[in-house]
Amino acid sequence: GINAEYGQNLEKCKDMIKEHKAGSTKYSNDELWRAQYAVFGRIHPDTGHVVPLPFSMTGFSPANIPICTLMIMPGTNPVIASCYQVLNQTFNAGFNYCNRNASKETTTTQMVGGYIGAVSVAVSVATILRRSITSSPRISAGMKRTLATFLPFPAVASASMCNIILMRNGEFFNGVEVYNEDGTSAGISHLAARNAILTTALTRIVMATPIFFLPPAGVAIIERATTLFKRFPRTRIPVTVALSTLGLYVGIPLAVACFPQTSILAATKLEPSCKPTGEFVYFNKGL
């Protein structure tokens, strides 16, 4: 884990990395990696500002454990389930804003539109699918209960895509700033903006897959293969929490590994207005 000193003294970590890039050799490799982890987890790459802990990569998993667990608990009343979707999208709106590409400012209208759109889509998708399942005479009561625990995935995936597209449509129209390898600006690119929005949407789907599939699948397997829940009914909640936690700690590294926050684009694909100095340019796609 990251030493608490590094997580608390972020300015020191930023200075260590800057000194290393300038040629300093006074820090060990272990110290530099700890500083890099702390900066990546809490510092916005565009603004250099500290991201509030619940909306940072460092705090994303702990903040999501109770939210995800609530959404996948079986037997939840439809109204309560809709409230959990609203809670989740409220958190996502804050996370999207705090981890956006900040080379172009996001307006209040875009933020509100993204939030309302995401909440509407999440609740609508979950409600429609729930009604389709519960009203089907061909599905047994046990299977309906099992399928209901998987409903959060399509609701969250579609809402996340809607949220990102609506909240970041300014990037689509205005472009984002791209940088040369030495950190100098290479111009504003609309192609990079489209790439950023698309890969961020895909990141959320990859991230959500183990989070919302692993717990209900694991609970269903335990229920069918063992008598644990029949003998000890109260174990269902801690097992679900444990599987939700596992899903988060699998999904987040997987998504970040597949789609890193700093994206690379070939200079040959840029608009003529951009002035790259090398073969590739770099930009913050967001999280």
Q: Which tokens go with 100?
A: 């956006």
Q: Please, how many CA atoms are within 13 Å of residue 87, restricted to the half-sphere of its CB?
A: 16
pLDDT of the residue at 101: 67
Q: Cβ distance 197 to 165 under 8 Å?
A: yes
Is the whole model's pTM more than 0.75, yes or no? no
Q: What is the pLDDT of residues 36-59, one digit of tens each?
A: 777 777 777 777 777 887 887 777
| pLDDT at res. 1 | 41
Note the pLDDT tens digit of each residue in 227-274: 888 899 888 888 888 988 888 888 888 887 878 878 888 888 888 888
Cα–Cα distance, 282 to 277 (Å, whole number) = 12
Q: For residues 17 and 167, what is the distance between their CA atoms, to the nearest angstrom?
A: 32
Please tell me the distance from the alpha carbon of residue 1 to that of residue 257, in angstroms, as a whole number.
19
Per-residue model confidence (pLDDT) at position 122: 75
Residues of the chain with pLDDT > 90, as a percent, come to: 0
Place of tokens 């504003």: 188
User: How many CB atoms are closer than 10 A to CB 200?
Assistant: 26
Q: By the 8 A CB rule, do 179 and 278 touch? A: no
Six-digit token string for 103 = 């080379």
The pLDDT of residue 4 is 43
246's tokens: 């596992």
pLDDT digits (tens, 9 = 90+) for 205-228: 888 888 888 888 888 898 889 988
Say which residues have a Cβ less than 8 Å from residue 275's Cβ, sequence separation at least 6. Answer: 186, 187
The pLDDT of 78-104, averaged and rounded, is 78
Closest CA to 262 of 206, 178, 198, 185: 178
